[in-house]
């Protein structure tokens, strides 16, 4: 899930203007060709989103969490850190 976790966080920051903390905490999904199933976190996705995917023929499997990411963001000469609450981690710096 490394590639999809990283891609989703980058897209959340760049395309949706989220802070690094919000991007790391956002719900995640994963698909890796085989098995042909979309794995989705149990929290955060609306019933409408799931129904729309199923209506298009996608199989859904729920997981409690997908991936882990601890990130930094440099913005306006400041460094922001974010530790993923999905695991026992922390963000530290100087």
CATH number at residue 31: 3.60.20.40
Burial of 33 (C-beta count, 10 Å sphere; 0-12/13-18/19+): exposed
The whole domain housing 10 covers 2-83
Does residue 88 lie in a domain region? Answer: no
Is residue 93 scored above 80 in pLDDT? Answer: no
pTM of the predicted model as reported, rounded to 2 decimal places: 0.88
Does residue 94 lie in a domain region? Answer: no
What is the model's pLDDT at position 94? 64
What is the model's pLDDT at position 66? 96
Does residue 17 lie in a domain region? Answer: yes
Does residue 63 lie in a domain region? Answer: yes
pLDDT in tens, 16-73: 999 999 999 999 999 999 999 999 999 999 999 999 999 999 999 999 999 999 999 9
Domain count, the chain: 1
Q: What is the DSSP string of 1-62?
A: -HHHHHHHHHHHHHTT---HHHHHHS--EE--SSS--EEEESSS--HHHHHHHHHTT--EEE
Does residue 23 lie in a domain region? Answer: yes
């Amino acid at each position: 899930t490394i590639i999809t976790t990283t891609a989703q966080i980058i897209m959340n920051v760049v395309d949706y203007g989220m802070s690094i903390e919000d991007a790391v905490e956002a719900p995640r999904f994963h698909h890796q060709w085989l098995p042909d199933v979309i794995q989705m976190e149990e929290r955060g996705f609306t019933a409408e989103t799931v129904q729309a995917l199923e209506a298009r023929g996608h199989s859904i499997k729920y997981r409690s969490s997908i991936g882990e990411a601890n990130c930094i963001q440099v913005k306006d000469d400041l460094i922001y850190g974010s530790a993923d609450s999905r695991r026992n981690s922390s963000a530290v710096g100087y």
